[in-house]
Every structure is written in structure tokens, then in C-alpha cells.
Amino acid sequence: MTYRQLRHRVTFQTEEQAPDGSGGLASTWRDVATVWAAFTPVSASEVTESRQQQQRRLGDIRVRHNATLEDCRRLRHDNRNYRILTVQDPDGQGRWLLLRVEEEVHD
């Protein structure tokens, strides 16, 4: 991996609970960091959920290691939200993070 391959800007987000005005809590997303990343599409498939066809898109994101990113649950890339499925240190050297992500698709 070279730094020239980090051509995409991605924003890592963490989920927070905030009052919803009715005495309950609502989930909101807070930006944690925007970093350069390498993005590689892995697969796309169609799945049926609740009798509706939806596309499932998986990708790999590689970024420079940053401990604050390890607790994030979502990232944004090209105005799309991706749920973080896994976070790995691929070479065990603490230089890179490799994330498997799935695009969030809403009706």
C-alpha cells in the first residue's frame, strides 16, 4: 500500500443517543474524523428483505492506523453511508487499518 492509493475522502462516524423531545432517545451520528482512504468495491448482490429487492454492496477501506477510528461504527463516502463490519490491522504493525464495509440501503 502506498500513500498515492489513498485517493478517497471518508468520514468516520460514531453513534450517539440524544433526547428526542418526547422523553425518549433517538440515535444521531457524530463525525469523528475525515481521512484519506483507499476504497475497493468487493461485491454487489441482490437480497430480498420484507419482500423487497435490495442491493447489498460490500467494500474494503484501507486507512492509516488511528486508534480513534477503531470504535467508529459507520463511515461516509461519496454521500453514501457504510456500516463497518470488521476492523483489522492486516500486517500487525500498527500502520494500517483494513475495514470491511457494507452500504446502508434504506427504502
| 28: CATH | 2.40.10.270
Q: In the chain, how many domains are there? A: 1
Work out the average pLDDT over 64-69: 90
pLDDT-derived band at 103, boundaries 50, 70, 90: very high
Work out the average pLDDT over 57-72: 91
Residue 43 and residue 75 in contact, taking contact as beta carbons nearer than 8 Å: no
Alpha-carbon gap, residue 102 to 59, rounded angstroms: 6
Nearest one of 58, 105, 55, 103 to 82, comparing CA atoms: 103
Domain that holds residue 93: 3-103
Integer Rg of the chain from CA: 16
Span 14-26, pLDDT tens digits = 999 888 888 888 8
pLDDT-derived band at 46, boundaries 50, 70, 90: low
